[in-house]
Chain A
Amino acid sequence: MKFESQLLKGIAPVVVLEILSRGPMYGYELSQAIEQRSGDILTLGKGTLYPLLYNLEAKKLVKGKWESNKSSRKRRYYSITSKGKGELAKQKAQLEKLTTGLNLVFGGALAPA
């Protein structure tokens, strides 16, 4: 099931920061990683991905660096900054609280089986 909605837009920065915390990636690689690691549940729209990355870059949560490859085009690799790591930790804590709250509301129905 594809999960594309306003809800995803809200958590998209956290998802991107979480993926980038595991290593630098370029745009295409990042979008593939999000789909793979979420079991194809989360899909970040292509038109959302790049503006989101530029916004995160403007906030200095990620930084981009061009790297050339002899076999293909040069690519812009994004990596998480120390500020981004701090923001990620904060957002994750908030998400955990939200999940706990939702579980209580739904009587544990949201907990993974």
Chain B
Amino acid sequence: MNLKKLIVRIVVAATLGLCAGLIMECLASWRAFPEFLIWGFLGGIFAGIVIEVLSCDYSITRDDLRRAEKPVIRILVVMAIGLLVGAVFEYVAVGALYPVCLILGGLIGLFIGTTIELIRYRHVIGRILREGEGLDLEGLPVNTAEFIRRVIRKMRYLKKIRSEVAAELAAHFEDELKDFATDEEKEQKAQQLIAEFGDVKLLAVLMRRAKKRCRPLWRTVVARTFQAVGVLILCFIVYVVWFLTGKPVITTDYVAELNSMVRPVADESLNAAPLYLKAVDLYKELSDDFLLFFAKNCLVISDNHSYRSTTNRITSSI
């Protein structure tokens, strides 16, 4: 069972679940709600773990499992705690139990439990598997074998590459020590050689970097793609947390903006009121001669009632 492969498969399943949740929600309502995305994400993780459990190579013996302190039981316990916490939380919040919340609690518990278990896996089961890593370090002094193990462990790279590096280092040490007859001499010379190799961590880092440069382009592309997906998932989780915990704050008064858009805009140069006021100020009483002249020459007698009434009023005023 390879931890890196396991994580990659779970991440892939979680991403697929996320995409499935998003697509389903978009098809259903043409909108994406974070709740459904979370459901899709959790469902994907769950599916990934189930697939992983079903497909992994259980070459670990019963004794190994006993040494690993029963991880399945621990996962179940954490899952049950999650279920219980979900139930209590829901009961306190709304006074009732809904299956959805119980399932969600259980899933979160399962997720946490599996994560804890994977962390433990590195230390417990990982060590068990490392013992049978297929490293051929026989015939080498103890300190040399331990040095090579430490180097390849700190390399943190593909198992195949690490095995190759270990084989190369083992061959190097064997050649260096072949002229020494006794184990004691070999140990002393090996110690000297280990000192010549320098810091284990630095050596491992240099080797990992150099080996990474050796990988083909497609492997680099795949690795970067998975890293990008991981970063996107992380960003999405942060976004969802921000979205769910945030409160709406009104920063723009859209009603006022709309009102201002529909309100008529008057050009002040077209405003006639000042002219009317000016005309009122300039008004002077007309003389009787003018009014008489106006009545005689400018007003035409017509059938229109308004004209006639106007003429009557002028003449009567005169």
User: Chain A: residues with CB nearer than 8 A to chain B?
Assistant: 26-29, 45-47, 50-52, 54-55, 57-59, 66, 72-76
Contact = CB atoms under 8 A, between A and B. Distances in A.
Interface stretch (B73-81, B196-204, B269-277): B196-204
Contacts of A54: 207, 210-211, 213-214
B35 interface: no
Given A28-B171, A50-B165, 12 more contacts: A28-B176, A29-B175, A47-B196, A47-B202, A50-B169, A51-B203, A51-B209, A54-B210, A55-B210, A72-B171, A73-B136, A74-B167
Contacts of B185: none
B60 interface: no
Interface residues of B, number: 26
Nearest to B199: A47
Contacts of A45: 196-198
7 contacts: A28-B172, A28-B175, A47-B197, A54-B214, A55-B213, A66-B164, A74-B171
B90 interface: no
A29 B209 CA distance: 24
Contacts, number: 64
A27 B168 contact: yes
A61 B228 CA distance: 31
A81 to B, nearest CB: 14
A59 B214 CA distance: 8
A73 B170 contact: yes
B297 to A, nearest CB: 112
Interface of B: 136, 164-165, 167-172, 174-176, 193, 196-199, 202-203, 206-207, 209-211, 213-214
A31 to B, nearest CB: 8
Contacts of A47: 196-199, 202-203, 206
> Shortest 6 CB-CB distances between A and B: which pairs?
A54-B210, A58-B213, A51-B206, A47-B198, A28-B175, A58-B214
Contacts of B196: 45-47
A36 B168 CA distance: 22
A57 B168 CA distance: 15
A28 B210 CA distance: 19
B207 A27 contact: no
Max count, chain B CB within 10 A of own CB: residue among A26, A28, A45, A47:
A47
Contacts of B206: 47, 51
A109 B300 CA distance: 130
Contacts of B171: 26-28, 72-76
A102 B48 CA distance: 65
B164 A76 contact: yes
A15 to B, nearest CB: 17
A73 B148 CA distance: 15
Q: Which one of A54, A55, A66 has the greatest number of beta carbons of chain B within 10 Å?
A: A54
Given A28-B171, A72-B171, A74-B171, A46 B209 contact: no
B150 to A, nearest CB: 13
Nearest to A54: B210
A60 to B, nearest CB: 9
Contacts of B209: 51
Nearest to B196: A46
A58 B213 CA distance: 5
Contacts of A55: 210, 213
A54 B175 CA distance: 20
Nearest to B215: A58
Contacts of B168: 27, 50, 75-76
Nearest to A56: B210
Contacts of A50: 165, 168-169, 207, 210
Contacts of B202: 47
B198 to A, nearest CB: 4
A111 B167 CA distance: 43
